[in-house]
Structure 1
Amino acid sequence: MKAITFSRIGAPEEVLQLSEVPVPVIKDNEVLIRTTAASINPGDFLFIQNLYPEPKKPVFPQQVAGNHGAGIIEKVGKGVSLQPGGHAAFSYYNSWAEYVAVPAEWLIPLPADYPPELSCQFVNLITAWDLLKQSDVKPGQWLVLTAGNSTISTLVSQLAKQQGVPVISIVRHVKQVHLLESLGATVVIDLSAEQGNITQRIMDITGNKGVNGIIDNVGGPVTGELIRCTAFGGKLIINGGMSAEKYTLHNFDILLKGLQVQPHVYRYFFTPPLPEDMAMLKEIAEMTAGFTSNVSAGHALEDFKTAIKESIHFSEKGKHIFIM
């Protein structure tokens, strides 16, 4: 079968290659998935550079890249209750390949008609769901998202709109304001065109009430400005650090606003979904089946160089995925 592999640590553009490797042989409690689509995420590049903590470490030679995907169940091992022919998403290892062996406990069953461009990045839908829950923003209260063009932010926006939560989407530059608004953003702030104080701009938008939640994927000076326009008791959820810049705060910027600062880590990073999570995961699938994905291109595995290059150098055009 075809797979994108690497046999040394390094920059993805330098170490990845298209390889022919054997179709995996499944063990007890494993499932053979015929991959239909696999997403390309920033975390995949961390794995290739050996930056993830244990046990997320590559094994050489020919470690198959990719951590998230979806496909059709081809075979099941002893002890597996799932049936061949079913559709499932997974966040595990080895997704950039035509077939992958996955322990059954890591699979998330999905309806047969669930969109492949969403199923292969179900990790992002779970993350968006959890971020909105963690922010604790109520209907009518304001939520701010940084990196508004990103996959996570567009998915959070759509969930927030369903729940009556107005969203301020902050972007470095935007050419399609109407697109972000159609994806749930109430107001889009373009930093490249903005003049003056962002804090005052947000206070004006919210009628001087401030924002109750910030989901920050970037960091840098803008985060400091956003903190200063939170309502009392608001939350800052840190979900990324795209900016290399820092920001400066005084204790009173946090203390006098009763601000809670929390990190977010993907809930299934180290451990698989629990049986009692399946009802929640089913609800996420039902609520998001009609969502608009920001996938801009689907690539064959043979076109991996283009897919990787355009994913590393993120543009407004959207996410790139592999289609098998």
Structure 2
Amino acid sequence: MKSIIFTQAGKPVDVLKPTDIALPEPGPKEVRIKVIAAPINPSDIMFVQNMYGIRPQFPSGVGFEGVGIVDALGEGVEMQTGIRVSFTSVGTWSEYAIAHQRSLIPVPEAMPDEVAAQLFVNPFTAYAMVQDSGVPEGGWLMLTAVGSAFGKLVIQLCAMRGIKTIGTVRRDDMNDELTALGLTEVINTETENLAARVKQITDGVGVACVLDAVGGHTATEAFKCLAKGGTMLIYGLMSLQDPILNAGLMIFRELTVKGFWLTDWMRRVDSHTRQDVAQNVIELLTSGKIQLPVEASYPLDQIAEAIDHADRPGRRGKILLKP
């Protein structure tokens, strides 16, 4: 079978190669899945560069989520083959992948493959972070890099809950689209003073929570926008630079800075909470109340083109690999 493999960490375009490998066999409590589609997420790119919370064991597959058909069962697995599932694993950019039975989410018939492929990483993270933000109806939440797939999900979830949102961008070409999704205010950090604009928008109060994926100067400035008692949740570092946090603001405004990683959040919460998130995410996606657009799909042989496309600025949807 064909799989995307890398044998050393580095830039994805340099180290990722379509490789013929043996068809894997599922172990105890595992299943083999014939992959239909898998997205290219920022976490996948960080993993290839050895900059993620999970470290690659070489030679390594790539891709943390996807959708496919259960093809073979390992010992102790009580389910039927032929079921379409969303799943998480390491190595979903492949014709076949192995996944633990606990990672499987049966996909409703009404949910398209393109949506089911993206079911876990962004929707679960967005839902969980909006919950953890604690922002009430009518409150202000700010998110950096708002034009990302994750940002668009947060906008839609907040709009449904009556939470007002401020999003940061570096270009204005997506402003109308973001506003249509429900974004309350958009700030271009290249042309506007972020802290001054947020102070103006919120009548001097600031925002209750910031969701930051950028780090560096953007996060440094976003931190200044927090209201007294506010919280910054950091879930990414797109700039590859650490923010500089003002200790005085942290002390006198009683601010909190926390990291967020979905893997740890899923381990930390109880099974009822996990099931509640899964049911709500599936219902929202199946009903079309929130959207997960796809811009393009590529076969495994075109992995370099797919990675290049995923890295383009101004992209309006997820890039999928379809084995």
Which residues in structure 2 correspond to 1:168-187 (within 5 Å)? 168-187=166-185
Cα offset, 1:128, TM superposition: 0.7
Amino acid at match of 1:282: Q
1:74 correspondence with 2:65: no
Amino acid at match of 1:304: I
Cα offset, 1:8, TM superposition: 3.2
CA distance in 1, matches of 2:269, 2:73: 19
Amino acid at match of 2:18: L
CA distance in 2, matches of 1:246, 1:268: 21
CA distance in 2, matches of 1:191, 1:124: 24
Aligned counterpart in structure 2 of residue 92 of structure 1, from 69, 89, 93: 89
- Checking the alignment, whether the CA contact within 8 Å between 2:228 and 2:255 is kept in structure 1 is yes
Cα offset, 1:292, TM superposition: 1.8
Distance 1:249 1:16, change over 3 A: closer
Distance 1:151 1:208, change over 3 A: same
What SS is found at the alignment partner of 1:154? helix
- Which stretch has the larger CA shift, 119-128 or 4-13? 4-13
Aligned counterpart in structure 2 of residue 142 of structure 1, from 136, 140, 143: 140
- Structure 1 unaligned regions, length at least 5: none
Cα offset, 1:244, TM superposition: 4.6
Q: Name the TM-score, length of structure 1 as normaliser.
A: 0.89
Distance 1:241 1:88, change over 3 A: same
Aligned to 1:160: 158
Please list the CA deviations of residues 104-162 of structure 1 after superposition, one character each: whole Å capped at 9, or x if unmatched. Answer: 11222221222323322221111111111121111100110100111211111111111
Which residues in structure 2 correspond to 1:1-324 (within 5 Å)? 1-53=1-53, 56-60=55-59, 63-121=60-118, 122-194=120-192, 197-245=193-241, 247-267=243-263, 275-276=271-272, 277-289=274-286, 290=288, 291-324=290-323
- Checking the alignment, whether the CA contact within 8 Å between 2:127 and 2:277 is kept in structure 1 is no
CA distance in 1, matches of 2:208, 2:283: 27
Amino acid at match of 2:255: L
Q: Percent identity?
A: 32
Q: Name the TM-score, length of structure 2 as normaliser.
A: 0.89
Please list the CA deviations of residues 72-92 of structure 1 after superposition, one character each: whole Å capped at 9, or x if unmatched. Answer: 222323322332232222221
RMSD, aligned α-carbons = 2.4
Amino acid at match of 1:184: G
CA distance in 2, matches of 1:79, 1:132: 37
Distance 1:47 1:27, change over 3 A: same
Please list the CA deviations of residues 139-192 of structure 1 after superposition, one character each: whole Å capped at 9, or x if unmatched. Answer: 100110100111211111111111111111111113121211122311111223
Amino acid at match of 1:255: I
Amino acid at match of 1:303: Q
Please list the CA deviations of residues 39-68 of structure 1 after superposition, one character each: whole Å capped at 9, or x if unmatched. Answer: 1122222322334456x42232xx322222
- Which stretch has the larger CA shift, 145-154 or 14-23? 14-23
What SS is found at the alignment partner of 2:263? coil
Distance 1:204 1:303, change over 3 A: same
- Which stretch has the larger CA shift, 66-75 or 91-100? 66-75
Amino acid at match of 2:197: R
